[in-house]
Structure 1
Amino acid sequence: MLVTILSLNTWSTYGPYEHRWPCMISQLKTLKPDVLLLQEVTDSRLLDQIKKATPLLHCAHQVQAGLATVTRFPLIATENVTYQSKSPLENEIRGALVNTVQIGGKMILLANTHLAWRAEDGGTRAQQVRELLKYVQTKGLPAILAGDFNDVPESPAVEWITRNAEFCDLFEHSRSPDRGITWDNRNPYIQTHAAKGVRFPDRRIDYLFASRNLAAARALKRCEVVFRSSCRNGAFASDHYGVLAEMCVEKYRTPSAGRGWHSTRKVR
């Protein structure tokens, strides 16, 4: 079956969130993810609205770190990881929300994270990645790593994942000719950051990584950037764009056959 996984930094309740959230949910109905990994979720009302509007009924929320996992698959286990490595430039709690799900008899780890954001925090981000990988590797399960890593593919943090660990950058693995930009200065919400003196070039900083055994044997069907366009109300879903991947895993029949995007998905 094909499983669709989507990661998005939701930008908390900044900007016109009362217009952004309906835009986000409208696009979710089109994209039909099976697993949704969210960052900057500081208001549980967003999760309530997502669960009400979609078949993603199972949810875990790490409130302090603003991380949430919403999925149509039951959550077997949920653990919170708090990074010991902290940026001296911020007071944020950084960590990971780690969930275990079962898909067609295969146990898969979902690790959702949001790393330190300032340009000067490259060393901190690299240390936070090491902490995450060390934790994930103790579980001995195939894993998906997702989130806002606040760093580019050539950074020490991201290269530590793709070169020193058994993980694959799914967007790079898709061989898309697109640059995969998720922090785009054409997004009008980015200008609110610029007005406060926070300026970055267009960058790819949001990722989906998979254990190489999950991404092997043509398992990855596609990986693309989503939420790039505005909705009819003129709003964008967030200041970030999201990343969506569709992967083949073992055939799975959802326990709740009555509600879902599809009760089963077959690889063509």
Structure 2
Amino acid sequence: MRVVTWNLWWRFGPWEARQKAILTVLRELRPDVVGLQEVWAAGGENLAGWLADDLGLYWAWAPSPASERWRRRLPEGEEGGVDIGNAVLSRWPITAQDTLLLPAPDDLADGRLALHARLAAPAYEVPFFTTHLTSAPGASAVRQEQVTALARFVERHKHGTPFPAVVTGDFNAWPDSDEIRLFGGYKAPSAVPGQVLLDAWEYAEPGAPGVTWSPENPYAARLLEPPVRIDYIHVGPPGPVGEGHVRAVRRAGHGPVDGIWPSDHAAVVADLAMP
């Protein structure tokens, strides 16, 4: 099962050209399931739906309840009626979905979400999630509250299948941060007692470039921040016959397509065993 997570940078920059580059990358990857963040919807159109139609995938969408806070960042005249949210694309039918509004103080409450989609894969149902944590640089404590809520959300929905939970998203946190350690549960006490969610990148080839936020990308370079991986695929321990074992992991979308960078983030791709 090929899993992709990708923050698509909403309607910022040359978004119409970028969405074509995004589609090109996803076509080449041929994913089975994709977790997307910063997905736009406007005027009856939805970027996730447009991608799903071309790729022949099912899709689910969860709009932010605070899209108006994001619209203030768009150029004048482009902000009207544009929503932002998370989405899941899936090769298999989505039999159930649920949404969690992540906790945040008033000054950071811009409607960040977690979206759950139950996937009816041929051999097993897959409990799949995608999320987008707050991006404020000094807000580790807020992100710890958010991953605690996320961990409880995962625990509620992972039942009834030997396939482990798969949690994707833009965590806006460095791999050694307290929030990532708290969420994983194998380097620090877990947010939910007994819950373990492995960072798929632990299975990457040693020395493989893993940066998903990099000044090499001109959209990211403008913020003058150091290169780091802030996008993740987390997977629970494998099932009884190896269900969900991470066989490979790498980046994608980390360069221009016909001169256009698809997003300000690189994507992460993981191949999971489905015995």
Normalising by structure 1, report the TM-score: 0.84
Q: CA deviation at 1:213?
A: 1.8
Query: Structure 2: which amino acid aligns with 1:184?
Result: S
> Does the 8 Å contact 2:99/2:113 carry over to 1?
yes
Aligned residue number for residue 70 of structure 1: 89
Match of 2:120 among 78, 102, 106: 102
Identity score, percent: 25
Match of 1:178 among 196, 202, 208: 208
| RMSD after superposition | 1.9
> Does the 8 Å contact 1:174/1:220 carry over to 2?
no
Distance in structure 2 (CA, Å) of the matches to 1:216 and 1:88: 46
CA deviation profile, 1:22-49 (whole Å, cap 9, x unmatched):
1110111111001011000122432232
Distance in structure 2 (CA, Å) of the matches to 1:150 and 1:175: 23
Q: CA deviation at 1:91?
A: 3.4
Q: CA deviation at 1:215?
A: 11
Query: Structure 1: which amino acid aligns with 2:176?
Result: E
Q: How do 1:153-232 and structure 2 match up within 5 A?
A: 153-162=175-184, 163=186, 164=190, 165-192=195-222, 194=223, 199-213=224-238, 217=242, 219-232=245-258
Task: Answer 1 or 2: higher relative contact order, Cα 8 Å, separation at least 6.
Answer: 1
> Does the 8 Å contact 2:133/2:146 carry over to 1?
yes
Name the SS for the 2:261 alignment partner: coil
Q: CA deviation at 1:160?
A: 1.0
Distance in structure 2 (CA, Å) of the matches to 1:215 and 1:208: 21
> Does the 8 Å contact 1:103/1:249 carry over to 2?
no
Q: How do 1:1-268 and structure 2 match up within 5 A?
A: 3-43=1-41, 44-56=45-57, 58-64=58-64, 66-83=85-102, 85-141=103-159, 142-162=164-184, 163=186, 164=190, 165-192=195-222, 194=223, 199-213=224-238, 217=242, 219-232=245-258, 234-250=259-275
Q: CA deviation at 1:136?
A: 1.2
> Does the 8 Å contact 2:34/2:89 carry over to 1?
yes
Normalising by structure 2, report the TM-score: 0.82
**Residues 1:241 and 1:87: Cα distance change in structure 2 (over 3 Å):** farther
* Runs of 4+ residues over 4 Å off in structure 1: 214-218
Name the SS for the 1:239 alignment partner: coil
Q: CA deviation at 1:200?
A: 2.1
> Does the 8 Å contact 2:49/2:59 carry over to 1?
no
Name the SS for the 1:200 alignment partner: coil
Q: CA deviation at 1:167?
A: 1.1
Q: CA deviation at 1:88?
A: 4.2
Name the SS for the 1:49 alignment partner: helix
Unaligned runs of 5+ in 2: 65-83
Tell me how many residue pairs correspond in the alignment.
240
> Does the 8 Å contact 2:90/2:119 carry over to 1?
no
Distance in structure 2 (CA, Å) of the matches to 1:52 and 1:135: 29
> Does the 8 Å contact 2:252/2:267 carry over to 1?
yes
Q: CA deviation at 1:134?
A: 1.1
Distance in structure 1 (CA, Å) of the matches to 2:236 and 2:3: 14
Unaligned runs of 5+ in 1: 251-268
> Does the 8 Å contact 2:203/2:247 carry over to 1?
no
Q: CA deviation at 1:63?
A: 1.2
